[in-house]
């Protein structure tokens, strides 16, 4: 599986022999959240805590993801209707 928004560089004729699936970031995150929302949120929390140069808060990372449109299609399916919804979910993990 290749997660990318750049499908034009992965034409079906080229990747088909390799049995590789091309998936966009929204669909990938959706599949992870569908499998185990709690694990995904914990992994996100771990990722944010590991950011050191520069250190970023959950708010900052969530806002960046929101600005680039991550989960724009599916966030409501998981009760995450905005970056602030994601922050609320993450704060429950503390």
Q: What is the pLDDT of residue 75?
A: 61
User: pLDDT by residue for the chain (94 residues), tens digit each?
Assistant: 999 989 899 998 889 999 999 998 888 888 888 899 889 888 988 998 999 999 998 878 877 887 877 766 666 666 665 545 665 666 666 5
CA dist list (Å): 59 to 3, 14, 66, 74, 86: 24, 40, 10, 20, 9
Whole-model pTM over 0.95? no
Q: What is the pLDDT of residue 38?
A: 85
Torsion of CA 36, 41, 47, 52, to 10 degrees: 180
């Amino acid at each position: 599986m290749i997660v990318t928004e750049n499908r034009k560089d992965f034409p079906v004729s080229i990747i088909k022999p390799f049995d590789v699936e091309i998936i966009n970031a929204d669909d990938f995150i959706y599949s992870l959240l569908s499998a185990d929302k709690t694990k995904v949120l914990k992994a996100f929390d771990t990722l944010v805590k590991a950011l050191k140069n520069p250190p970023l808060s959950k708010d900052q990372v969530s806002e960046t993801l929101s600005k680039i449109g991550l989960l724009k299609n599916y966030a409501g399916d998981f009760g995450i209707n905005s970056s602030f919804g994601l922050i609320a979910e993450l704060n429950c993990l503390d």
